[in-house]
Amino acid sequence: MSTFTTVSLKNVLNKLYEGEDYRGEVISLIQDNFIAYSLDFLKRVMLAKIENKDITVDWYEKEFIQNEDLKKDEIAINSGMNMKTISNKYKTTKKDIVISASNDQYDDLKRAIDELIDVEKDLDLTLTIKYNKASVDLTLNETLIVINTLAVKRAAIRAGAWSSIGKNIEKPLMKSLCILYGVPEKNYEIIYKKADYSKNEDIYSREIDFYLVDNTEKSLLCEVKLMGKGNPEVADAVIARKTNLFVADTLSETNKRQLKDWNIEWIELRAKKGYEKVKDVLKSLN
């Protein structure tokens, strides 16, 4: 799972205040997570094949799909699927469903690889993994399965990183803006949204809502979206949630006109000293 450290969040926050692109920090996180995962996964692949060298059954399936010690998200990734796909398809991520879906996916993957090899008869590829003094060679089939797993894992890491940056930065960004412009603690509040454990007992809530509280004690919802210019997500986010203040990395002119028409205050952080608009917004919101 992609995890932003205190240092990386501070770096993102500094770049937002300076009106600079924060994405390099996210890309570095993705790369670090993927490299660490790849090295660990390849070591486990090597050890699994060595330990199963005299077994005629599918050693990868035995160690990486049927292994009861693995977490359900690991099983899914190893089969070539991610949890979001399973959730969307089966409307649940219970472990028995994940295992069943992963088995089906792995069978489909092996069949697709076999068909490819039948068509490309001259294709040959061997992946050699060496660690300390041990070494194993993976066949073409095994190599393609490993490559597929790494590709799926990188996609999952990437999606998780980009999805979580906004959620992780919303609290420190909005709180620091309030402190910077002298907003009393009584005039802002942070509400943690509870997760629906009836749908997935393994999740826990880390999402928050940030509110400014005006002089009449009315709570004004603030929405933070670190997205690219022209992203249609603006309309969906503010309409669905009845937002009062929209804070974004970049906004297109169309976005700005839409927000103005909807009487929603906005702040574009990438604009020159964009965060300084906060003082005008605070006056407008009372």
φ, ψ of residue 268 to 5 degrees: the values are -105, 110
Is residue 163 domain-resident? no
List of E strands, 198-273 = 208-213, 219-225, 245-248, 265-268
> What's residue 206's pLDDT?
44
Whether residue 167 is contained in a domain is answered as no
Residue 196 predicted with pLDDT over 60: no
> Beta 219-225 vs 245-248: how paired, if at all?
parallel
Question: Does 277 have pLDDT greater than 80?
Answer: yes
pLDDT of residue 193: 54
What value does the mean pLDDT take over residues 30-51? 93
Among 234, 259, 61, residue whose Cα is nearest residue 146: 61
Indicate the Cα dihedral angle 213, 238, 207, 185, nearest 10°: -10
pLDDT at 104: 95
Q: Which residues contact 72 (CB under 8 A, 6 or more apart)?
A: 83, 93, 95, 98, 99
Residues 33, 123, single domain; the answer is yes
Are both 205 and 120 inside the same structural domain? no
In terms of domains, do 149 and 238 share one?
no
- The continuous run of DSSP H or E covering 241 comes out as helix 233-241
* 122 in the same domain as 186: no
User: Residues 132, 11: one domain?
Assistant: yes
Stretch among 44-48, 68-72, 224-228 having the lowest mean pLDDT: 224-228
Considering just the CA atoms, what is the radius of gyration of the chain in Å?
24
- Determine the Cα–Cα distance for residues 68 and 65; give it in Å rounded to an integer: 8
On the question of pLDDT at 232 being above 70, the answer is: no
In sequence order, the 6+-apart residues with CB closer than 8 A to the CB of 3 are: 29
My answer on whether 151 and 200 are in the same domain is no
**pLDDT at position 171:** 86
pLDDT tops 60 at residue 230: no
The residue with greater pLDDT, 53 or 27, is: 27
Q: Are residues 10 and 149 in the same domain?
A: yes
Q: HSE (CB half, 13 Å, CA atoms) of 52? A: 17
pLDDT of the residue at 42: 95
Quick one: 127 and 249 in the same domain? no
Q: What is the mean pLDDT of residues 82-93?
A: 92
93 in any annotated domain: yes
Whether 185 and 226 map to the same domain: the answer is: yes
Q: Which among 158, 192, 219 is the end of a domain?
A: 158
pLDDT of 207 > 90? The answer is no
* 80 and 187 co-located in one domain: no
Strand, helix or coil for residue 135: strand
**pLDDT number for residue 234:** 60
Q: Report yes or no on 169 lying in a domain.
A: no
DSSP secondary structure, 39-92, as one string: HHHHHHHHHHHHHTTT--S-HHHHHHTS-TTS-HHHHHHHHT--HHHHHHHHS-
In angstroms, the Cα distances linking 68 to 58, 63, 96, 106 are: 16, 9, 11, 16
Please give the average per-residue pLDDT across 262-269, as a whole number: 90
Q: Is the pLDDT of residue 144 over 90?
A: yes
Count up the domains in the chain and report the number. 2
Q: DSSP assignment, residue 143?
A: H
In a domain, 270, yes or no: yes
Mean pLDDT (the chain, rounded): 85
CATH value at residue 240: 3.40.1350
Look up the domain containing 192 and give its range.
181-285
Residues 13 and 148 placed together within one structural domain of the fold: yes
